[in-house]
Amino acid sequence: VTADALVLRLADCGIEARPAWTPLSQMGPFADEGRLGGSTARFLRKYAVAFPCSEDLTSAEQDEVIEEVADILNSAPLSRSSG
CA of residue 48 relative to chain centroid, distance = 4
pTM: 0.75
> What pLDDT does residue 38 have?
73
pLDDT of residue 64: 96
User: In whole angstroms, what is the distance from residue 57 CA to residue 23 CA?
Assistant: 28
Run of H or E including 72: helix 59-75
pLDDT value of position 81:
53
- DSSP structure class, residue 80: -
Per-residue pLDDT for the chain (83 aa), expressed as one digit of tens each?
999 999 999 999 999 999 988 777 777 777 777 666 678 888 888 999 999 988 999 999 999 999 999 999 999 775 555 44
